[in-house]
Amino acid sequence: MDLHVALSSSDPLYTIGWLTALFIIIFPIWFAPKLSIQSRKKFEKTWAFLLIASYVAMTGMSMLRGEASWGTSLLIHMCGFSRLLMIGYLFTRKKWMGELVTFTGLAGGLQSLLTPEFTHGLHPLYVTDYYFNHASIVGIGLYIILVHKKPLQPFAWIRSFGRIQIMALIALVVNLFTGGNYMYLMSPPIVDNPLIVSSTDFPYLHVLFFELAALLNFLLIQIALRRVKVRSSLGVPLR
Q: Which residues are within 8 A (CB) of 232 and not within 5 positions of it... i.e. 6 or more apart?
A: 149, 238
CA-CA-CA-CA dihedral for 21, 26, 32, 34, to nearest 10: -140
Provide the residue range defining the domain that includes 175: 5-226
Q: How many domains does the chain have?
A: 1
Confidence band for 169, pLDDT divided at 50, 70 and 90: very high
Residue 16 lies in a domain: yes
Asked if the model's pLDDT at residue 212 lies above 60, the reply is yes
Mutual angle of helices 37-64 and 12-31, in 10-degree steps: 150
Residue 232 lies in a domain: no
Confidence band for 25, pLDDT divided at 50, 70 and 90: very high
Residue type, 200: T
Residue 142 lies in a domain: yes
Residue 239 lies in a domain: no
Confidence band for 186, pLDDT divided at 50, 70 and 90: confident
Residue 120 lies in a domain: yes
Global pTM exceeds 0.95 = no
Residue 22 lies in a domain: yes
More confident residue, 201 or 122: 122
What pLDDT is recorded for position 86?
94
